[in-house]
A and B are shown apart, each in its own frame.
Chain A
């Protein structure tokens, strides 16, 4: 365990093996940090709030919280959480494994997030949002929750697994973006998006199936993205994606040849 001499760590905090706490960071008492995690400088971890009803902030093993971030008590994160600088996470956030939260993002709490979801810089997640696994949210995108602000109504939005939300796009309160759907940049998602559809613009327009998307300079399909983009995901997850793709291809075209194309494509990278 490495705690910088300038860090303030409450004696009640439960720190796992080989946890590192950076300079000028404050760790409050109601906190549990898993083995091998790194909390960088200038952070505040387990900020007290009556809204957490005394429940603890729990951060899984092998996590990295970058400098200047603030986490309130009363949230749970699986192992391998990774944040950028200046992330703010409020109470009642429940996230699975491998969540990535980009620089300057804000999670307002009382929300659920699946496994291996990735948020880039300055993402805003309103209270009572629901996010699946392997979701991507690009810079400045967000999820709203109050249909007639300001009001006491909290109607969270939902993003299903493998969906991708482009830069500057916002989900209006209560809408759902279906599995594998692609929301283009600057879109106001004002109604439900069916799985595997492309939508964009404000007002939002349906642009057809995600099967249409091609990688630039090639005729290879860009969807599902799990066939060509694997960076940073655990090996067993990638293996699952590859075998699923192979099964699917041999089903559809009955050919080893088609499955081979993916393999070649993968090796080419």
Chain B
């Protein structure tokens, strides 16, 4: 990582603190502010009107670190004290508070609101307008669809923080609310508009308000008649690296035999 990118990639109206650590070939859009406590990896693009590395005492001085080959779209706000692996992809108008840790190729949709002190594994996909409360833990390859809210306070307002957990490969459809401390098991499917009040076992479907168990996720068939829709990693591979997909297929094959 080099200190200061070539000026050509920083728009003349952008305000970049000289202390910020920018990798090679980083570009910063018009009217964007980059504060001092920020590290941006090589070949990353930051859109216009963003603010990166907003200072907060809650970050205990740790930097905002964004991996190589990332893209942050316009009007997004990232506080200091969070770290993202390579290939972060963020929509417009995202807010990310301190203490958020995400792995490789985290995708966050437009207007999402990550309140911080949360972890995300690798290749997690959040669609637009997802709200993640403090203390949430999300595994790898999870899908969360628009307008989902992950809560953390069972008796609001109180000082009790019980973040929810979402295990690997789980899918939470649009407009769901997951209540404090609830664990969504690996590969589980939560139907749209559900209010998830208790734990969901791995590979099960839950839906409704309150959400109830509707059997194994493998019951759901693809509408084109080509077979079961879940586990989805059997039939959906777009955007994942080849070696990851190969790993899934080998694992599923082993499981089948």
Interface residues of A (CB under 8 A from B): 6, 23-24, 40-42, 66-68, 84-86, 103-104, 118, 121-122, 136, 138-140, 164, 166-168, 185-186, 201-202, 213-216, 222, 225, 228-229, 231, 269
Contacts and interface: CB of A to CB of B under 8 A. Distances in A.
A74 B115 CA distance: 31
B15 A6 contact: yes
Interface string B174-200: 010101000000000000000100000
A24 B95 CA distance: 18
A231 B113 CA distance: 22
Interface in B138-178: 147, 149, 151, 154-160, 162, 175, 177
A53 B241 CA distance: 59
B93 interface: yes
B95 A166 contact: no
9 contacts: A6-B15, A42-B49, A68-B93, A118-B157, A139-B113, A139-B151, A140-B147, A186-B177, A216-B160
Interface residues on B, range: 20 to 34
B232 interface: no
A86 to B, nearest CB: 6
Nearest to A223: B155
Nearest to B30: A24
A167 B177 contact: yes
A104 B113 contact: yes
Nearest to B131: A139
A164 B15 contact: no
Contact of B95 (A84, A118, A202): A84
Interface of B: 13, 15, 31, 33, 49, 51, 54, 75, 77, 93, 95, 111, 113, 115, 129, 131, 133, 147, 149, 151, 154-160, 162, 175, 177, 179, 195, 209
A16 B175 CA distance: 43
Contacts of B177: 167-168, 185-186
A103 B175 CA distance: 18
Contacts of A84: 95
Contacts of B75: 42, 68, 86
A67 B131 contact: no
Contact of B155 (A122, A167, A215): A215
A229 B157 contact: yes
B72 to A, nearest CB: 14
A210 to B, nearest CB: 10
A23 to B, nearest CB: 6
Given A68-B75, A85-B77, A103-B113, A222 B158 contact: yes
A42 B147 contact: no
A213 B155 contact: yes
B51 A41 contact: yes
Given A85-B77, A167-B177, A140 B149 contact: yes
Nearest to B115: A121
Contacts of A222: 155, 158
Most chain A CB within a 10 A radius of its CB, from B31, B154, B156: B156
Contacts of A214: 155
Contact of B159 (A138, A139, A186, A229): A229
Contacts of B149: 139-140, 167-168
Nearest to B162: A216
Contacts of B155: 213-216, 222, 225
Given A164-B156, A168-B175, A231-B159, 14 more contacts: A23-B31, A42-B31, A68-B77, A104-B95, A118-B157, A136-B157, A139-B131, A166-B156, A167-B131, A167-B177, A185-B177, A185-B179, A229-B157, A229-B159
Contact of A24 (B31, B93, B129, B133): B31
B160 A68 contact: no
A70 B158 CA distance: 30
B114 to A, nearest CB: 10
Contact of A228 (B49, B131, B159): B159
Nearest to B151: A167
B159 A269 contact: yes
A138 B95 contact: no
A136 B156 contact: yes
A6 B12 CA distance: 12
Contact of B113 (A24, A121, A202): A121
Contacts of B115: 121
A13 B121 CA distance: 48
B46 to A, nearest CB: 14
Contacts of B93: 68, 86, 104
